[in-house]
Amino acid sequence: MTSAYEEVSSERIGSFIAENPLAWIVPVADPTSALLMPLLLEVDSDGTPASFLGHLPRSAAATNKLVEQPRAIVLFLGPHAYIQPSWVSKPGWAPTWNFVSLKATGDITIDEALSAEAVTRLVEHMENPTASGWTVDEIGPRFEGLLKGIIGFRMRIDELAPRFKVGQDESPESLQEIKSALADETIAKWMD
C-alpha cells in the first residue's frame, strides 16, 4: 500500500533530483564501499524516470564492486527540518520531521564511453542556473587527464521509491503555521 508520502509525480521527482543531484551510491554486494556522487536523471519519452547518468572514481572500492556485481541502491536526501510543536496551535501536537528523499534500485553499467558525457552534462546542469557560461572546454588539455581518473556509468532504474513527507497529513491550519515558521527554509517550498 502506498502512503501519501510516496505518491509523487514524475515531474516532482525530476525537480527534486535536479536540485539535489548528490546521492549515496550503495553497491548491493558491498554496502560499506558506498560513496557520494552527483547523478543526473534521464527520463523516457513520457517523462517517466528511466535511468541515472554519472561517473565514479576509478580507484574507488565501490567501482570495483560494481564491475563485479552491478546491482546498486541510490539514496538521495533533500531538504529537511525538525518541526517544533510550538509552531502549531493545536494542543497535544507532537514534534515531527519533514523531508524529501528518494531511493532507487537498479543495475549500473560502467562504460568508458560515457565518462566525458557524464561530466560535461553534469557541469552544464550545475552551471546553467548561474548563467556563467563556464564549460569543460575551459579546462583545456587537462580535461583528458582528469577523465583518466573516472569512469562513466548509466544506471537503469528498476525501482523508484520517493518519500516526500511534507505535511500531507496536517490540517490546512497546521500546515500553514508550519510553512510560516519555515518560510526561509528550502523545505517550505516542497510543502506547496
Average pLDDT over residues 173-178: 95
Helices (H), the chain: 10-19, 61-68, 115-127, 142-147, 172-181, 186-190
pTM: 0.92
- Residue 131 clears pLDDT 90, i.e. is over it: no
Q: Percent of the chain scored above 70 by pLDDT?
A: 99
Q: Across-strand partners of 23? A: 37, 76
C-alpha separations of 76 from 58, 132, 151, 174 in Å: 22, 27, 21, 27
Q: How many C-beta atoms surround the C-beta of residue 11 within 10 A?
A: 10
- Of 15-19, 74-78, 85-89, 143-147, the one with minimum mean pLDDT is 143-147
- Which one-letter DSSP state was computed for residue 17? H
Amino acid, single-letter form, for residue 141: P
Give burial (CB, 10 Å; 0-12/13-18/19+) of 187.
buried
Average pLDDT over residues 82-108: 95
Say if CB 24 and CB 74 are below 8 A apart: yes
C-alpha separations of 160 from 102, 105, 163 in Å: 7, 7, 10
- Residue 1 clears pLDDT 70, i.e. is over it: no
Looking at residue 3, its pLDDT comes to: 83
Looking at residue 29, its pLDDT comes to: 97
Looking at residue 70, its pLDDT comes to: 98
- Model pLDDT for residues 20-79, shown as the tens digit of each residue: 999 999 999 999 999 999 999 999 999 999 999 999 999 999 999 999 999 999 999 999
Looking at residue 31, its pLDDT comes to: 98
Average pLDDT over residues 119-141: 86
Please report the sign of the dihedral spanned by the C-alpha atoms of residue 105, residue 111, residue 114, residue 118: positive
Looking at residue 137, its pLDDT comes to: 87
Q: Considering the chain, what is the average pLDDT of its residues? A: 94
Looking at residue 44, its pLDDT comes to: 96
**What are the structural domains of the chain?**
4-80+97-167 (2.30.110.10)
Looking at residue 32, its pLDDT comes to: 97
Looking at residue 134, its pLDDT comes to: 83
